[in-house]
């Protein structure tokens, strides 16, 4: 089934593109969520009229994504946690913890945009990818230290 995307969907395409999807996916998810419209003469005509506005929105989205990627480039986020024997954390560091730390630095990133495969459970330094939008990613370094080591260093 051919549809026109009303919003950018990472797995399908950008706003305004005509894509072919399975009918059940379109009928049960994309159309009810207003993420897409079915292709017909009226929707194609409306797409032609809105094309300039769509291009402008996508350019703005790309500009914002590039600015966020530049902020995140070579950024190191440091977190101090209580540890047990052999550097194992009591608990773990999750994408929510990283998002909170970035918010304290003045960078707003959704928790879902931080692509942390598994929670960090030991004292370490890890490279983590962050989705910045417009199908772009940037990498940050997450440094987890022991609270006792951080207290003695200060």
Scan for tokens 């960078």, then name that residue: 107
Strand positions, DSSP E, 2-123: 2-5, 18-20, 36-38, 76-81, 88-93, 114-115, 120-122
pLDDT single digits (tens) 31-90: 999 999 999 999 999 999 999 999 999 899 899 999 999 999 889 999 999 988 787 888
Domain end among 24, 47, 66: 66
- pLDDT the model gives residue 84: 84
- pLDDT the model gives residue 151: 53
pLDDT band, very low/low/confident/very high, at 154 (cuts 50, 70, 90):
low
Question: Which of 25-29, 37-41, 89-93, 146-150 comes out lowest in average pLDDT?
Answer: 146-150
Number of structural domains (the chain) is 2
pLDDT single digits (tens) 121-148: 999 999 999 999 878 899 999 999 988 7
- pLDDT the model gives residue 67: 92
Single pTM value for the model: 0.77
**Structural domain range at position 54:** 2-66
pLDDT band, very low/low/confident/very high, at 6 (cuts 50, 70, 90):
very high
Q: Are residues 78 and 61 in the same domain?
A: no
pLDDT greater than 60 at residue 25: yes
User: Is residue 77 within 8 Å of residue 125, measured between CB atoms?
Assistant: no
Q: Could you give the CA distance from residue 76 to residue 107 in angstroms, rounded to a whole number?
A: 13
- pLDDT the model gives residue 76: 93
H-assigned helices in 3-82: 23-25, 41-72
Q: Are residues 114 and 139 in the same domain?
A: yes
Q: Are residues 85 and 55 in the same domain?
A: no
Q: Are residues 78 and 147 in the same domain?
A: yes
- pLDDT the model gives residue 14: 87
Number of H helices, E strands in the chain: 4, 9
Q: Could you give the CA distance from residue 123 to residue 108 in angstroms, rounded to a whole number?
A: 25
User: Is residue 82 within 8 Å of residue 151, measured between CB atoms?
Assistant: no
**What mean pLDDT do residues 91-104 have?**
93
Q: Could you give the CA distance from residue 43 to residue 73 in angstroms, rounded to a whole number?
A: 40
């Amino acid at each position: 089934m051919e549809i026109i995307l009303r919003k950018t969907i990472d797995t399908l395409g950008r706003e305004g593109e005509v894509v072919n999807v399975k009918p059940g996916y379109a009928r049960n998810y994309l159309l009810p969520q207003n993420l897409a419209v079915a292709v017909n003469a009226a929707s194609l005509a409306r797409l032609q009229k809105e094309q300039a506005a769509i291009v402008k929105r996508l350019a703005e989205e790309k500009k914002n994504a590039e600015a966020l990627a530049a902020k995140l480039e070579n950024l190191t986020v440091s977190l101090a946690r209580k540890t047990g024997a052999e550097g194992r954390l009591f608990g773990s560091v999750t994408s929510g913890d990283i998002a909170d730390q970035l918010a304290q630095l003045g960078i707003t990133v959704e928790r879902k945009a931080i692509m942390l495969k598994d929670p960090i459970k030991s004292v370490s330094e890890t490279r983590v990818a962050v989705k910045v939008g417009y199908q772009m990613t940037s990498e940050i370094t997450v440094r987890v230290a022991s609270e006792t080591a951080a207290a003695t260093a200060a």
